[in-house]
Amino acid sequence: MIRRFSKGICLATMILLVTAAVLSGCGGAAQEPESIPETETMSQPETVPVVKYAPLGEATEGSLTIKLTNKIGKNITGFEITAEGKDPVALLKDDVFAADETRELFFKPEEGVKYNILLKYGVDKEMVLHDFPMTDAEEVDLLLSEEIGYITYQSLSTKEEKSSLENEKSLIVPEETTAAYVEPIYYEEPVYYEEPVYYQEPVDYGPQGDDGCIDDGLMW
């Protein structure tokens, strides 16, 4: 009886010791924190520009916005963006860009492409703004000097005030003028015609009498 009781106590003690060891081992081990997945970098969506003035072009995601003021003193009836090897883009249709009016140009240029702007005004008159600073200007004044179109603006890259007038003058090709042919006039000295003078030998009528008769009594 005593032996059975002792065996029971020993068995219970062993169970307690094993349980304590297991519990102490679990409690002492540092639990690794759950790894939190890194937040994926989300690309910012392109925003649509807010339209403040009458638009030239359509405000779309990623398009540039340039404020243009018409200071050429005339209404602009045509506005086209041109580039070598590309079709012109007409942005003024059935409308007039009035003198002293401000509008917003919305355009998404391609990288590395140089753009020109063709303006039509007056009666069948045109001017070209070469190498328009699509990515280097936010506000541009359109100007006209002696029928030469040019712009002024503040450069975004250098913060300098710039004018394209001298550059536009250097690009002007003088028109070839063909003078009308005029038949040369040669002065000729007048020719005076003189009647020929004929010399006549004197006629010898012989001796004459006092009565005016010649020989044989013939009167002359």
Sketch the domain layout of the chain as residue ranges. 54-170
CA dihedral 20, 24, 26, 32 (to 10 degrees): 170
What is the pLDDT at residue 117? 97
Domain spanning 54-170, CATH architecture: Sandwich (2.60)
Beta pairing, strands 76-83 & 86-90: antiparallel
Residue 118 near residue 128 (C-beta atoms within 8 A): yes
What is the pLDDT at residue 1? 46
What is the pLDDT at residue 94? 86
What is the pLDDT at residue 213? 52
Low-confidence ranges of the chain (pLDDT < 50): 1-6, 22, 26, 28-30, 36, 39-41, 220
What is the pLDDT at residue 205? 62
What is the pLDDT at residue 47? 73
What is the pLDDT at residue 18? 55
What is the pLDDT at residue 43? 53
> How far apart, in whole angstroms, are the C-alpha atoms of residue 149 and residue 71?
10
